[in-house]
Each structure stands twice: as C-alpha cells, then as structure tokens.
Structure 1
Amino acid sequence: MGFIYNIGIAVAGFGLKTTSFFNEKIKKGVVGRKNTFSILQKNLNPTNKTLWFHCASLGEYEQGLPVFKVLRNHYKNHKIVLSFFSPSGYEIRKNSPIADVVVYLPLDTKNNAQQFLNLVNPELTVFVKYEIWPNFLNELKSRKLKAILISASFRKNQSFFKFYGSEVRDALFAFEHIFTQNETSKKLLESINYNNVTVSGDTRFDRVSSQLDIDNTLNFIETFKQQKLCIVAGSTWPEDENLLINFINNEASKEVKFIIAPHNIKPSQIKNIQEKLNVESVLFSKKEHKQLEAVQVFIVDTIGILSKIYSYANIAYVGGALGTTGLHNTLEPAVFGVPIIIGNHHEKFPEAQQMIDNKGMFSISNQTEFNTILNELIENSEKRQLSGKNNSDYISKNKGAVNTIITYLGL
C-alpha cells in the first residue's frame, strides 16, 4: 500500500485515540480494537473453516443480513466472523446470532491486515456497500482468498474515479465480483476497467420485505392507537422534532395520534421533547399502568422496535434529511404501504428520489411545507392510500438482490 495512505492511517489512528478522551462513542471503538486479536485467538483455531462478513456500521449490517442468513444456513460447519468499524454497529449487534465471533475491525495497516487474516483465514469474505480498506483487501488478494462486495453504490465524485485515486482504486480489484445497486455504479466500475460486476439491486429491499413475514403486533401500540389515524416519526433529530412539536401543538386534531422514535434516546433529549409538547405524552419506558388510549403522543425511548411500529403508521416521517446527519431508513415504512415525508437533503439516497418520483414520498424544507403536506395527507384519504401503495409497489418491484448473489455463489 502506498506511503501516503499508510501515513494517513497512522494519523487517523492517533486522532481517534486523542478524540477518545472526549468522546465516549469513539472511546468504545478505540478500546474495542485493542481486544480484537485476543478475541479471535480465543474463539478460533487453525482447523476452523471460516467466513468473514464486514460492515461499517448498523445500517450496512441490516443491508447485508439477508445474504448473511443464507450463508449462515448453508455453511453450518463454518465459523463466521463478523466485524464492524463503528461502535454504532458493534455495540448493538455484538451478540448477533448469525456470527460465532463479533469484533471491531482493526485499523487498516499492513501488519493488522496480516495478523487478522492469519487468525481468520476466511474461505469467503463479504463486504457491504462501500467498505474499501486497501491493506486488508490487498492482503486478501495476495493470499488468493475469495472476496465479494454486495449492494455497492458508487458516485462519480469518489476518489476511485479520480486521477489521484489509484491506491483505493486498485483495492477494488481484490474483489472477485462486485454486486452493485444500480447501472450507474456498474458503468463507473467499467470506466476503470473493473468488469466483474453485476447489477443485483439493493439487498435492503429483501431485508425489509422479510418484515412482512413476521408478527409485527405490539399490544401497547394497539391500545395507544385505537382506531385513530396515526403518524409515526422515526429516527428523528432535534430539527425534525421541532417540526413535529410545532405541528402537534398548533395544527393537529385531537383525533390524530403521533408516535415519535428519536434517534437520540438520551434522557435529556427525551425530556426536552416532552417539555415542549402542549399535549399529553407517554414514554415507552413508563407506559405501564398508563391510560395509553387517552394520550396523544407516544415517545419511544428504546431501540429495536421501530420497524414493527411502522406497521401501525398511516403516515410516516423519517428523520435525518432535514439537517446534515443523513437520511435514515425509508424502506422500513415503505414496505407497509404508507406515504412518507422526509427533509430536503437526500441527494445521496437514490431510493428517496425514486419514491418521490413515484409520488409515494414527499420532501419538505421548512415548517410551512411540512404542515401543508401533512395536513393534505391527513385530510385526503385517497391520496394517502395511493401514495402508500406506490411505496409498497416500489419495494416489491426491487426485491431479488439476494437471489442474484446466492446464485453467483452457487448455493
């Protein structure tokens, strides 16, 4: 790997250690990476056959999960190593049932890559979406170990396609095959003479579709909702919550119910939401012995149940795109056939623009626009139902990525 890249990794490592003194999330990653090799040594031995799945964070894990499940079921006698770079993935999925060992990925140095692969020696490696770590990938290539990249999404402005991007560009050739989400990504790869590429689509469509096959019943939500129209706001940030609170306080009918599931569930943030509301609200954590049917706003101060809660939505709002944090998962509510409102910063999320074009999703940039479209969807049941159907049809149309990948692997 190039001298400049390796210097950059060293600087990044130093920066993470320094920042960890002031940031608890980064500290978890720094400490966790120190334990990676001891965890692998404890749980693996040279006779084990292994697979290695790597994800940047929780979103990529959920994206790769449909493929991981098939591989887990097929390779019953293999040990599966699952790695994350971000604490957001590791801390939530460190006990994932699809893996035998879950670790933080060490920083991308040549020594770390060699030591990691000496311990894991995977028969198959699966990276998800955009995780490109040149030293690890080049080490896989030099050992002739099979690796694929799934649900890949590329943009023209990325370094792979620039004159200065040779180091990261060369790392792509460590993958035996790349499965892209769209034709644009395929053409970008072909422009750098990478031709082992298939447009499979996005495995997230398969992932969210599986939500329809499970029991999504939540008795406490049924008690809260009754037979009233319900708006579910998922993965919200303060700028999203301000819109919702203003609408609830000044525009909303008492006959409309609201469920707010903030991205940040720290007590201070939850308290801030409750204090700003002029109507009665209840927290998930304090719902017992409460008259839920009499409350207008339900605040979800826990994780892991939002995908089920979306099944109760008549209208959904998905946070992250009103600010700069990034749009959260819009496919989760779409699969249940509900119209969706988002913020206006969704440029990096092609599925959002596609649903907007299909008239199932609506992008807003301020309170006035939010109030207008939400009132219209509340009052116009025909538009609400048609928009929702457009979204569920969109999900159904785009399923099938998992079958394409598994067929290639010969399973």
Structure 2
Amino acid sequence: MKSDFISKIRSFSGKTKVRNLATSTNVFFYGKGYFCEVMRHIYSFFISLFNALLPVLGLFSSKLKEFRGVRQTVFNYLESKIEGSDRVIWIHAASLGEYEQAVPVLEELRIQYPSHKILLTFFSPSGYTIRKNTPLADLVTYLPLDTEANADAFISITSPELVLFVKYEFWPNYLDKLKRNNISTLLISGVFRESQPFFKFYGSWMKKSLRAFDYFFLQNESSLKNLKKLGFTNAEVSGDTRFDRVSRQLEYNNTLDFIAEFKQDKLLLVCGSTWPEDETLLLDFINNVAEVKIILAPHKINSEKIEAFRSKLTKNVVLHSELKIKNLQEAEVLIIDAIGFLTKIYAYADIAYVGGAAGATGLHNVLEPATFGIPILTGTHIDKFPEAGQMNRIAALFTVKNPAETSVVLGKLISDKKFRDQTGIIAGQFVSGNTGATHSIMSYLKIKHLLPD
C-alpha cells in the first residue's frame, strides 16, 4: 500500500524520484524532512494543475483569462531583454503597496549599481498596470505562477545576482531554485504573524523555503520574535521602508495648480482612497459643514458609483474630469476621478481621512498624509495595520465608527486649530522618527561586498 501511495505522489509531482521515499517508507510517514518534501511536491502538483486548467477556467472568468494572458509572453519578453553578460538585480513586489515599499531601495540600487539591470516583477495587476513604465527598473513584468518548471525557466533566463522579496511574498518553488543556485536573497520590510501558514500544522512544510533568505529585514519586534520561533536568527528589525518612501515625498515638487485654485485660503479635508463604506461615514459631515473645502479621491474610479455618491451631496461638486468646463473656485467638493494625484494632494490638506478601514477591504496608506504633518481619521478596522495602531495610541490618528463620530471628530479638528496643529506635529514626527530601513539594507549589501560594480 505504501509503495503504491509513493508511486502516486511521484506521478503527481512530475518527479522521477522523491528522495529515497521508496526505500524509506517509515521515515516518509514519520520523518519531518520527507513530509515537507512530499508536501512541496503536492503543492507543486496543484499549482501546475491550476496552470494547466487556466485556458478552460478563463472561459468562465475574465479575471482568470487576463491572469493567464498577461503571463504568456513573460519568458519571451525576458529573453529579448536580457543578454548573457547582463548583471541582474531582481525585486519582487506583490502589488502596488509593496512596490511603494520597494521604491527607496530601487532608488538607491540605481545609484549604487548603475551597470546592473533591475528587474521588477509583480503578481497583481494593481502594481503592474500603474508602474509598468517606472524609470526605476529596466524590466517590468508579471511573475509567472510558482510551478517548478516556471521557476527553473525564470531563474535560468534572468540569472540574478541579488533578489529582494518585499514584505511577505513567499513562493516555495522560486525560493527553492534560488537556494539551489546559491543566489543572494533578502526579504525587506518583512512581516511575520502567527496567522501565517508557517505557524500552522498544515503549512509547517513551508518553513524550509525560508532557508533561501540570506537575511531578513523586518518591520517590527513581533516579526523578529515570530521568526525566531521558526528557528531563524539571521534577521534584524530595520523598520518599514515605506517611512523612507513617504518621507522623501517632502523633497519632491508637490505643486498642483488646480488644487491650489480649488482650496484658495480655506481649510481643506482630503478623503483619500475611499470606498462606499467610508463615504457613508463622511456623507452627513460633507453635506452639513460650512467654509471647508473637501476633496474625495475614491480608491476605484467607477463612474457609476461616483455619480451615485455625487447625487447624495447637497454641495457644489466638480469632478476632476470637468475642470475645463466648471468653475473650480466656486466648487465646495472636488472628486478626483483620475489616478496619480493623491500623494501630492495630501501636501495641500489640513486634515486627512484615509479609506479602507470602515469595511473589510483593508486600510490604505496612512503614512502618505502623515509625512505632511496633518491629523488623520480612519475607520475602526486597523488591527492588521501596525503603523495605524501606533499612530492611534499616540493621538496622531483617530478612528470613527459611525457618521455621528465622524462629524464630532472632524468638527473638533476644524474648530480647534491648536488641537489640529498638535495632532499633525505628532503624525509628522512619527514618520520622521521611523526612517532608516533603506540605509540598513544598503549598508548590509556594502558590508557583504555584494554586487561590486
């Protein structure tokens, strides 16, 4: 029976052997090493099966059809852009949020290693679609699915000298291939929580993947503590590179003439990355407040939903797309139905509301407005966002759970300038006091003499 089972595992994994399982059946059933190996093969089988079924699944799901389509040309793209003599640094970010964390590191790599080609990969369209033309990378593409064949092909084509994964992207087959090829691999802005598979019985086999990382740069002490529980000590708490990213925004040109024209000399509330749940909290306040300018920047640009919300407002409302035909100075509410402006808009704000925490979609970046030294409001679902929790504890950020609370807190911030200014100072100092993660990463690379030009 055992040998039959082993044969099935072999066929599932597509391997010709499973590390002497045929002669070590007792160890197979009771040994952790063999259990982990078999689990990885089972994982690989199901990933490969999903990959094989994508053409069929795409007939029933436009998202899966797109998922497959955008990955079909990856290897051809890489082969056309990378030559044998190229020295490649590969950075992988799951989506747009992780990309923002990678930006200060990308900027430093550009300066320190100008002769290297920088390859940036995404898993999610939210990152690739918006940043596919970033000047911080020479090549930008999607990461193919984590099959053994894809991992082999990807690493063989790119032959990276250094790999950086951002936050908590852990792909077992890619990591296994990197380890086998002795490629220097780092995790930056890493987060380890006990809710992750590594800490569960069903995901303990994935711990082996972490051996691929030469070093872990972690966001906080709890992540370091949890990583040590897994047996890894090659780590430090360097902080979150997002602090470096948002702090540098102060050095850039944040001028937007149309925002200055809209704001004039009045107080400005900027509601960024909002969802319908956030708009429910804000609606009564917007309709009843006087002498305050309001900007709403929805997370998703959906014309029907924007018009639905606009119809509920009793104010003079202008959309960004209407700027050429509407009087901006007379407008009381400006809705940004375009992307790419929000970070600069925060530079004009006196108060910010950051969306995503009123519902279950996930809180958006509270550090972007905080770096400009302004008080922040969010919904109450901030448990999974350590920086928001810390800001809440030091009174740099306030959470609101219903329209009445929203109106009370915003009313206090608007009417009490001293309170508003003090809260904003705390927020700004929180950001400036937590910078330095990028410096730690670059210092490590220098000390280890990696990638000399």
Instruction: Mark yes or no: TM-score above 0.5.
Output: yes
2:44 aligns with 6
**2:423 is the counterpart of 1:400:** no
1:103 aligns with 141
Gapped regions of structure 2 (runs ≥ 5): 1-36, 448-453
Choose which of 193, 197, 203 in structure 2 pairs with 1:165: 203
Query: What are the equivalent positions in structure 2 for 1:138-153 lying under 5 Å apart?
Result: 138-153=176-191
State the SS of the aligned residue for 1:119.
helix
State the Cα distance separating 1:15 from its structure 2 match: 7.2
- Shift in alpha-carbon separation, 1:15–1:357, aligned structure 2, 3 A: farther
The CA distance in 2 between the partners of 1:384 and 1:141, in whole Å, is 51
State the Cα distance separating 1:17 from its structure 2 match: 5.4
Radius of gyration: which is bigger? 2
1:368-396 residue CA offsets vs partner (Å, 9 max, x unmatched): 21111111111111111111111001001
**2:120 is the counterpart of 1:82:** yes
- Shift in alpha-carbon separation, 1:314–1:18, aligned structure 2, 3 A: farther
Q: Which moved more, 1:79-88 or 1:19-28?
A: 19-28
1:126-180 residue CA offsets vs partner (Å, 9 max, x unmatched): 1100000000001000000111000001111211122332332111110000100
State the Cα distance separating 1:242 from its structure 2 match: 2.1
Contact 2:283 2:403 in 1 (8 A): no
Contact 1:29 1:104 in 2 (8 A): no
State the Cα distance separating 1:42 from its structure 2 match: 1.0
Choose which of 374, 386, 394 in structure 2 pairs with 1:350: 386
The CA distance in 2 between the partners of 1:87 and 1:385, in whole Å, is 38
State the Cα distance separating 1:10 from its structure 2 match: 3.5
- Shift in alpha-carbon separation, 1:234–1:262, aligned structure 2, 3 A: same
Contact 1:28 1:87 in 2 (8 A): no
**2:212 is the counterpart of 1:180:** no
- Shift in alpha-carbon separation, 1:145–1:360, aligned structure 2, 3 A: same
Deviating above 6 A after TM superposition, structure 1's stretches of 4 or more consecutive aligned residues are none
2:30 aligns with none
**2:291 is the counterpart of 1:291:** no
- Shift in alpha-carbon separation, 1:338–1:79, aligned structure 2, 3 A: same
Give the letter for the 2:445 counterpart: L
**2:84 is the counterpart of 1:34:** no
The CA distance in 1 between the partners of 2:58 and 2:335, in whole Å, is 31
Contact 1:180 1:202 in 2 (8 A): yes
1:308 aligns with 344
2:359 aligns with 323
- Shift in alpha-carbon separation, 1:244–1:204, aligned structure 2, 3 A: same
Contact 2:292 2:332 in 1 (8 A): yes
Calculate percent identity across the aligned residue pairs: 49
Contact 1:240 1:320 in 2 (8 A): yes
Choose which of 141, 144, 165 in structure 2 pairs with 1:127: 165
Give the letter for the 2:92 counterpart: H
State the Cα distance separating 1:281 from its structure 2 match: 0.8
Contact 2:92 2:166 in 1 (8 A): yes
RMSD: 1.5
**2:313 is the counterpart of 1:243:** no
Contact 1:25 1:87 in 2 (8 A): no
The CA distance in 2 between the partners of 1:346 and 1:17, in whole Å, is 38
Contact 2:272 2:342 in 1 (8 A): yes
State the Cα distance separating 1:284 from its structure 2 match: 1.0
The CA distance in 1 between the partners of 2:233 and 2:121, in whole Å, is 27
- Shift in alpha-carbon separation, 1:147–1:18, aligned structure 2, 3 A: same
The CA distance in 1 between the partners of 2:144 and 2:397, in whole Å, is 39
**2:301 is the counterpart of 1:265:** yes
Contact 1:134 1:167 in 2 (8 A): no
Q: Which moved more, 1:324-333 or 1:274-283?
A: 274-283
- Shift in alpha-carbon separation, 1:296–1:55, aligned structure 2, 3 A: same
The CA distance in 1 between the partners of 2:42 and 2:306, in whole Å, is 44
2:414 aligns with 378
Contact 2:284 2:407 in 1 (8 A): no
State the Cα distance separating 1:308 from its structure 2 match: 0.4
1:252-280 residue CA offsets vs partner (Å, 9 max, x unmatched): 11x11100000111221222222221111
State the Cα distance separating 1:11 from its structure 2 match: 5.1
1:77-96 residue CA offsets vs partner (Å, 9 max, x unmatched): 11111100001111111111
Give the letter for the 2:179 counterpart: K
- Shift in alpha-carbon separation, 1:107–1:258, aligned structure 2, 3 A: same
Give the letter for the 2:311 counterpart: E
The CA distance in 2 between the partners of 1:11 and 1:342, in whole Å, is 42
